Chain A
Amino acid sequence: MKLHQLSLFLENRPGALKVPCRLLAGAGINILTLNLADTAEYGILRLIVKDWQRARQVLTDAGCVVNVAEVIAIDVPDRPGGLADVLDVLDSENLGIAYVYAFVHGRQDKHAAMIFRFDEPDRAVQVLASHHIHAVPSADLFAGLT
């Protein structure tokens, strides 16, 4: 249910984003989706890759500070109100969301995968299950990807 997301600290200066991307490229690791939170002075790059342990090793060996967090990919119906309906459920259960971003890779079944970072990932899994909201298993998410 849960995915491992890697986060990196980047100083706000030209070329900073390129460094980890080049490192992963060199190791043949594909970035499946990413999100960049920015402040005036620094950014936090969040990455989803298939082989997160190897990616973490590559980045750490190169001197990057890497944080690993558990996130959940949720199937959101690809229609007006699809995300709002999911948020209604989460809200009704008082489940705090730290941030959300979209999964880039296209899906065929009229659903979009959204990455949710919850404050309480374990409770989130239970809430989603009890409301029959589909969390995408990593096997499905990474099927056919490198």
Chain B
Amino acid sequence: MQRLWNDCAGGFHTASAPDYLPVDRLRELQLSRLRASVNRSYQRMSLFRQRMQDRGLMPEDLRSLEHLAQLPFTVKSDLRDSYPFGLFASPMEDVVRLHASSGTTGKPIVVAYTRQDLDVWTEAIVRCFAACGVHRGDVIQNAYGYGLFTGGLGVHYGAETLGATVIPISGGNTERQIMVMNDFGVTVICCTPSYFVHLLERARELGVNPRALRAGIFGAEPWSDAMRQRIQEDSGIRAFDIYGLTEIIGPGVGIECACQNGLHVLEDHFYPEIIDPQTCRVLEEGQEGELVLTTLSKEAMPMIRYRTRDITRMIAGPCPCGRTLRRIQRIGRRSDDMIIVRGVNVFPSQIEAALLGARGTLPHYQIVLTRHKGLDHLEVQVEVTPEVFSDKVGTLEALQRQLAESIEHTIGIHAAVRLVQLRTLQRSEGKAKRVLDQRTNV
């Protein structure tokens, strides 16, 4: 049965108290934690100390939260260059867990957690899940991958601590996922949004309708609001966006509450700034830019001003849920995902939103980039579903035209839309690979 949240505040858990701190108390707490975090980094991380010294800065110079803007950034290549343990701020005997992110090119990045870091992470997940109305008594199917990826174990301990029943099924084996979802009375599922779409589709083919399921907590890849609407309409569950990244802690950095209007950043642990990615200046509230995060309570691997490459903006004003934690707009764009087509910046999520704007198409699509005689060619492959299929050529041609126009209207350049047979595009069990770049510089 679908349950509706009438109570906009969502579930309340004792661990959620920091969500509702008065703003001045929150800022005080942030400043004192920030100073400790900067001190620790300065004392124990030579890279950070060197960069501070190059700028003539000392940790004592940090007298207000605004002063953070003067501090040096940390970027992804810093983590790669220090592979594997170069940025650890705790001795190895205090490190109780290591995770690593899949490196698409070369070596992965390695992150470390002390016992206290794991406790912070667990607390973050508890607060995130409580904000989505998840509580003791829920049966959670955790389909994030268990292993070096932070998703599986991160969610696992938080959900257990919340008091829910956790099924550590990990990713993959779609039919078993559906069987478990149905037979175990799963009420909440955690996975990537693209994998959930695949699960739904497969469940429908198998004639399975997991009635107990009422919420999904989806993350680890950018997805559009249109995709959320589609998932909610198709499945009758509420779909929540969770945000996080390995470099900061894993999932649990930000979460949507029942209002589903932006993600609250757990800023008593992870301090957000929005910068202009070109000038690196801090932007005013409401302006769109790159999210920069500073960890306030991490021991083994504090991150000062980590550039996430995620594009978002702060949402002004208080949230009706009562949380005082500031909100960021859902991450639809990640500068890493950006593709440049004929000199125009294009994000897969823009194409996704354009496709979902048309009725009846399934959110399975692939973007294929090729180059003909020096000119980029953008093709979007969309699967033909029973809802849109017609026996008339004209109807299908009209659909192609409509999708192409919708994409061109969104991204500003022409895309060829190719209709392909259902289930011919690759289904991902983790992060979806939306772009196939076959351009060669010949």
Contact = CB atoms under 8 A, between A and B. Distances in A.
Interface of A: 5, 7, 9-11, 37, 39, 41-42, 44, 46, 63-67, 69, 98-99, 117
A108 to B, nearest CB: 30
B441 interface: no
A65 B385 contact: yes
Contacts, number: 50
Given A39-B397, A63-B423, A65-B384, A9 B418 contact: no
12 contacts: A5-B391, A9-B396, A9-B419, A9-B422, A11-B424, A41-B418, A42-B419, A44-B391, A65-B385, A66-B386, A66-B389, A117-B391
Interface in B359-404: 384-386, 389-394, 396-397
The 6 closest A-B pairs by CB, nearest first: A7-B391, A69-B391, A9-B384, A65-B389, A65-B422, A67-B389
Q: What secondary structure prevails in chain A residues at the interface with B? A: strand
A9 B389 contact: yes
A44 B393 contact: yes
In the complex, which range does the number of interface residues on chain B fall in? Answer: 10 to 19
A66 to B, nearest CB: 7
Contacts of B422: 9, 63-65
Residue of A11, A65, A98 most packed against chain B (CB within 10 A): A65
B405 to A, nearest CB: 18
Contact of B420 (A11, A39, A117): A11
Given A9-B396, A37-B393, A44-B393, 9 more contacts: A5-B391, A7-B390, A9-B389, A11-B420, A11-B421, A41-B419, A65-B422, A66-B389, A117-B392
B391 A10 contact: no
Nearest to B400: A41
Nearest to B397: A39
B423 to A, nearest CB: 6
A6 to B, nearest CB: 9
Nearest to A63: B423
Contacts of A42: 396, 419
A140 B336 CA distance: 64
